[in-house]
């Protein structure tokens, strides 16, 4: 990567500069609304749904919410990661010169979306890309990375094994390391989605004030994004700092996957995570850099976690009601809005009677029909197939849900 001494500061103005740099190479992904999901978000959960949870016996929250979905599943390579990859490569070219970067190449270690994103960015500038991937990586993601012309080096699955192969590549080629999330250039690139989301929601409610919860042209009140290594959540937080828009993070709780939430609660970063949550893109702990942003309450208001059943239920709703193809990691924010009573009570309390317009980041759609089939065929945490707010026949559980 470029020298840390020469990176732009983590500020909104730097995100705007990053956006100008990468605009020619990324898609302006759509922002979608959905009446059914906004109605569900504004409907109190049935008391039976809270049985067996920490909220059992409590009165369900009654928030008022309108949802605006930033669909990064329609981004190039099917995920937001190209934003950070194109910004990092672009900054390298600005700092070192295109010929020097082409001579040495770039390198990273990733089993998924960042691998494909960096491969695409490098191919665009005719730069050699070395991607270190664990031998257990999904074959379709390996194929996608190779399809972009990258040189794939296989390694063991642990971070130490991956980093050792990266070091070998750097010694042999002099390639510049472009990490998946632990660098300011990556964070600033990812934050460009929040700039777009803010503008797009504003345009939508100006065109049709009925789309917003306020009934007027006021735009976004809050954004919620998935959190794994924290690059995207940090970028969103930096981009929206000082705008008055609150930023929230969402994680899976399974096997301690909510390390960011627990770390902030304890006041200390949790350095290792070992979880097999179905939200496989969120199995990574925060880095020192992303921790500094995410643990700052002036940037990230708070973090919440959801169960595997919550994630399945939210994914089913998106697939069936929005007709939108997403991976499990993409829906943890929506799952939080629908099923986490702590978050729902916060909206009810802080929004008062007006409610909030909430931007929801769909981070990606890189999964397969086979993988989705396995997710819904697996037993739920309750010992049966997760049905959530949908009945077993796919009908609405809440009578007042329409369209």
Please confirm, yes or no, whether 111 is among the known catalytic residues.
yes
Angstrom distance (rounded) from CA 207 to CA 217? 8
Angstrom distance (rounded) from CA 13 to CA 18? 9
Nearest CA-CA partner of 385 in 306, 283, 316: 316
Of the candidates 111, 253, 305, 329, the residue annotated as catalytic is 111
Angstrom distance (rounded) from CA 147 to CA 141? 10
Angstrom distance (rounded) from CA 358 to CA 364? 18
Of the candidates 81, 141, 246, 299, the residue annotated as catalytic is 81
Nearest CA-CA partner of 276 in 234, 238, 328, 239: 328
Quote the distance between the C-alpha of residue 269 and its chain's center.
20
Classify 398 as helix, strand or coil. Answer: coil
Inter-axis angle of helices 192-207 and 81-96, nearest 10: 130
Output the CA torsion sign for 185, 190, 196, 202. negative
112, 63 Cβ separation under 8 angstroms: no
Angstrom distance (rounded) from CA 238 to CA 15? 8
Rounded-to-10 torsion of CA 54, 302, 333, 276: -70
Q: What share of the chain is helix, strand, coil (3-state, %, to 5)?
A: 50, 15, 40
Please confirm, yes or no, whether 146 is among the known catalytic residues.
no
Question: Which residues have a catalytic role annotated?
Answer: 81, 111
């Amino acid at each position: 990567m470029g020298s840390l001494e020469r990176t732009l500061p983590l500020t909104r103005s730097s995100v705007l500069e990053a956006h100008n740099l990468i605009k020619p190479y990324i898609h302006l992904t759509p922002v979608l609304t959905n009446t059914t999901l906004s109605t569900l978000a504004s409907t109190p959960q049935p008391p039976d749904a809270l049985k067996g949870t920490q909220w059992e016996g409590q009165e369900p929250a009654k928030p008022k919410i309108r949802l605006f979905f930033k669909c990064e599943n329609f981004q190039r390579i099917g995920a937001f990661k190209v934003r950070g990859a194109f910004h990092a490569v672009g900054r390298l070219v600005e700092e070192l010169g295109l010929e020097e970067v082409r001579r040495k190449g770039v390198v990273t270690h990733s089993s998924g979306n960042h691998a494909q994103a960096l491969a695409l960015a490098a191919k665009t500038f005719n730069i050699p890309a070395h991607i270190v991937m664990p031998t257990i990586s999904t074959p379709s993601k390996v194929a996608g990375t190779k399809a972009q012309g990258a040189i794939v080096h296989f390694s063991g699955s642990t971070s130490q094994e991956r980093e050792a192969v990266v070091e070998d590549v750097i010694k042999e080629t002099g390639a510049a390391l472009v990490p998946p999330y632990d660098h300011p250039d990556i964070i600033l690139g990812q934050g460009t989605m929040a700039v777009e989301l803010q503008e797009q929601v504003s345009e939508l409610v100006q065109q049709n004030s009925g789309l917003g919860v306020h009934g007027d042209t006021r735009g976004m009140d809050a954004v919620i994004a998935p959190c794994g290594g924290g690059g995207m959540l940090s970028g969103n937080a930096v981009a929206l700092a000082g705008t008055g828009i609150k930023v929230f993070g969402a994680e899976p709780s399974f096997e301690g996957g909510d390390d960011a939430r627990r770390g902030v609660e304890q006041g200390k970063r949790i350095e290792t995570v070992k979880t097999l949550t179905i939200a496989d893109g969120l199995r990574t702990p925060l880095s020192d850099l992303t921790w500094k942003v995410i643990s700052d309450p002036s940037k990230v208001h708070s973090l919440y976690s959801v169960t595997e059943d919550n994630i399945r239920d939210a994914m089913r709703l998106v697939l069936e009601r929005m007709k939108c193809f997403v991976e499990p990691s993409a829906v943890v924010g929506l799952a939080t809005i629908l099923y986490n009573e702590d978050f729902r009570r916060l909206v009810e309390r802080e929004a008062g009677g007006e409610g909030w317009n909430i931007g929801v980041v769909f981070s990606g759609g890189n999964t397969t029909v086979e993988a989705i089939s396995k997710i819904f065929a697996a037993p739920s945490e309750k010992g049966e197939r997760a049905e959530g707010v949908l009945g077993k026949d796919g009908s609405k559980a809440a009578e007042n849900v329409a369209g």
